[in-house]
Amino acid sequence: CPRFDLKSKKSLKTEQKYYLADLSIYYSKNVDGRINYGPVLENVLYCYLKAKGYRLSVGKIGNLECDFIVRKNVDDYFYIQVAMTIAEEATEEREYRPFTKIRDNYPKYLFTTDTLLQKRDGIIHVNMVDFIRKNEML
């Protein structure tokens, strides 16, 4: 997945991020038995959105990262952050921080597995499990 610098509005040729079509590869390389579900959920959402025909890139804002910049058409942009949960305040702040640096008015989504969804600064908080189960589109 290519990276895109949101300040300069240019594609970055380096620092690409890779996603797996088969997560069993991730699990087979996991030698310590702990699973970090954030990247797994990010990978699942990446595959789901690609299958729906969206174009994705990773957003870079200074030293922050926006998990996905999603495009359906030339003028249809969406920004997405993905986390297992934002129940802890530190995680919540980490996931919302990149959105505060984006200075345009395209929709911003936070995907989690939380069932209690927040409303904050116009950012749309989505339960990822329900979104995929209902076969929804952005």
The pLDDT of residue 41: 93
For β-strands 123-127 and 108-112, DSSP reports them as parallel
Domain ranges of the chain: 18-133
> SS3 for 54?
coil
DSSP assigned state of 89: H
Query: Which token pair is 137?
Result: 């589109």
Domain 18-133 has CATH 1.25.40: no
Region class of 97: left (phi > 0), else alpha (psi between -120 and 50), else beta = alpha
Q: What is the mean pLDDT of the chain?
A: 85
Total Cβ atoms within 10 A of residue 103? 8
Reported as a single tens digit per residue, the pLDDT across 47-74 is 999 999 999 988 888 889 999 999 988 8
Query: Which token pair is 122?
Result: 């116009």
pTM, rounded to two decimals: 0.83
Backbone dihedral angles phi then psi of residue 89, each to the nearest 5 degrees:
-60, -40
> SS3 for 80?
strand
The pLDDT of residue 63: 87
